[in-house]
Chain A
Amino acid sequence: MLVIPAIITGLGLGSMYGLIALGFHITYSVSNTVNFSQGSSMMLGAVLGYIFTIRYGVPVPLAILLSLTCCALFGLVVERVLVRPFAERGSNAWLMATVAGGIVLDNVVLFTYGKEPRSFPSPLASKPVEIFGTGVYPLQLIIPLVGLGAAFALHFISRKTKLGKALPATVQNPDAAQLMGINVRLVIAISFMISTALAGMAGLLIAPLFNIHSDMGTLFGIKAFAVAILGGITSAWGVMLAGLAYGLIEAFVTTFLGSVYTQIVTFSLVIVVLAILPNGIFGREAVKKV
């Protein structure tokens, strides 16, 4: 009676965390930096989806394409303006700069889109279907599939393609990688674009289940980073599976212990796991080949 709804809720939430966390994985894998405005990128995807479809009547497939393109362009801006100038000087100030960039974006959206939460109706989230006696929106079944599909694609690219095998070189020795014909700056810029597009995809997927507003991504961004670290930020599968595990633990704690314990237990668990496994559950200590 209580278990099935908890599993459905947990998998839906967990795959959202995982999808956003994959963005952290991508940029870290090629540049050792992350974009702390991932939560805002997620919000941007949802807001743009709403604006294109509801306000301007753009057909949904085109609206999705436009929204993801804009999110990718935001990623490019983040990399060019908020990360590269600091990373190239060996400074870690990109960390605070990306946090600030997210806050700026949230506030720009607040002033332009408005303060009122809006709804993004979808036929995939209007009528629940019954599975094991529990109501589930079809979208809640699609979200984990998209998340696992994204993790599979990233894993495949990194392990099975020439590009994927070349990417770690951009982190280990950017100068040597450049000499070998890898355009390091372009690769890093593309990784940021993919990461924000993934977050935008998460925003579009969650929009019909949630309310669209300028700070909808804040908590998601924080939890997704916890998930990325928990899973082992260097492993796409690890990050996705950690996302699903985190969502399930949240839902089970809420269901069986009560909602007042949810945040205490889940974040405490993150601390305990990292104390035991500093590289995350599926992460490995970086090996530098000389």
Chain B
Amino acid sequence: MILVNNSWGESNEKGLKAALGANSIPNAGVEKFEANDVDVVPQLTRLKAAGADVLFLVGNVGPSAIVVKSLDRMGWNVPIVSHWGPAGGRFSELAGPSASKVHFIQTYSFSGKLSPKGAAVFDALKKKYPEIKSAADVTPAVGIANAYDATHLVAIAINKAKSIEGPKVRTAMYEIDKYEGLIKTYNKPFTPKNHDALGADDYIFTHFKDGEILPLVN
């Protein structure tokens, strides 16, 4: 594991250790970096010496790029599975050609063939923010898509409840039947036992290619 040295990195360390432990997979080591580190070769050298054969990376776009550049300098070609942090900026520009080696999860990408809803949202974004020229300029795409759908779901619930009181809105959320969102069409997204409208099937592994986030295909 190569993780940012803060509470975010700490929580991911616990989660990853638990997941690895549940599958009886030992970890070679856990290394931390500071958000403003220029060079993480010493940390990566320790992991390589400990026999790591894959890296779990947790960090924002800038530090993640430094990890990739440090791997390039070492000449260590190792698979990298990452938190979606690199999607929060211009990862291809910062990390260079090796950016595409980092695989991370997303719920949505504005690249490729878009649904009518996706095309409409993308056009609206370009109209409101002229600096957006291509899908590569929509950062972080997953954050925008999640926020877009979440805002609409809450709005539907408020309309149903005709109130903004928490308990009433919550009850109204359970009554949402169908909403055609950006990420997917939500059918009965919330129940008293399920407060997460996105499930395991809604996540895809992606990588950067020429500045755009594309799904991984075997």
A residues adjacent to B (C-beta < 8 A): 1-2, 5-6, 8-9, 12-13, 16, 116-119, 121, 126, 128, 134-137, 206, 209-211, 213, 215-216, 218-220, 251, 254-255, 258-260, 263
Q: List 24 A-B contacts (CB under 8 A).
A: A5-B74, A9-B39, A12-B38, A117-B61, A117-B62, A117-B65, A117-B89, A117-B90, A117-B94, A128-B73, A135-B72, A136-B73, A209-B38, A209-B39, A209-B69, A210-B66, A211-B65, A211-B66, A216-B36, A251-B42, A254-B46, A255-B46, A259-B33, A259-B43
| Contact among A13, A116, A136, A255 with B38 in the assembled complex (CB-CB below 8 Å) | A13
- The answer on a CB contact under 8 Å between A128 and B75 is yes
Q: Residue B49 contacts which of A1, A213, A260 (CB distance < 8 angstroms)?
A: A1
14 more A-B contacts (CB under 8 A) besides A2-B45, A259-B43? A6-B45, A9-B42, A12-B38, A116-B90, A117-B65, A119-B93, A135-B72, A136-B73, A255-B45, A258-B31, A259-B31, A259-B32, A260-B5, A260-B32
* Chain B residues whose C-beta falls within 8 Å of the C-beta of A135 in the assembled complex: 72-75
The reply on B41 being an interface residue by CB < 8 A is yes
Return the CB mask of B53-79 against A: 1 if under 8 Å, else 0: 000000001100110010011110000
Minimal Cβ-Cβ distance residue in B for A217: B36
For residue B36, which residues in chain A have a CB less than 8 angstroms away from its CB? 215-216, 218-220
Given contacts A2-B49, A117-B89, A260-B5, whether A210 and B38 have CB atoms under 8 Å apart is yes
Whole-angstrom distance from the CB of B213 to the nearest CB of chain A?
16
Most buried by B among A121, A135, A206, A213: A135
- A259 surroundings in chain B (CB, below 8 A): 5, 31-33, 42-43, 46
B25 CB to nearest chain A CB (Å): 21
- Residues of A near B45 (CB, < 8 A) are 1-2, 5-6, 255
Q: Which of A12, A211, A213, A218 contacts B39 (CB 8 A)?
A: A12
Known: A116-B90, A255-B42, A255-B46. A211 touches B73 (CB 8 A): no
> Given the complex, which residues of B lie within 8 Å of A220, measured CB to CB?
36
Compute how far the CA of A16 lies from the CA of B37 in the bound complex, rounded to whole angstroms.
Answer: 13
Contacts of B49 in A (CB 8 A): 1-2
**With A and B bound together, what is the CA distance between A9 and B70 in angstroms?**
10
Does the CB pair B39–A13 fall under 8 Å? yes
Give Cα A135–Cα B65 distance, bound, in whole angstroms.
Answer: 17
B90: contacting residue among A13, A118, A206, A254, CB under 8 A = A118
Given A128-B75, A135-B75, A211 and B42 touching (CB < 8 A)? no
The verdict on B210 contacting chain A, using a C-beta distance below 8 Å, is no
> Roughly how many angstroms separate A43 CA and B75 CA in the complex, as a whole number?
29
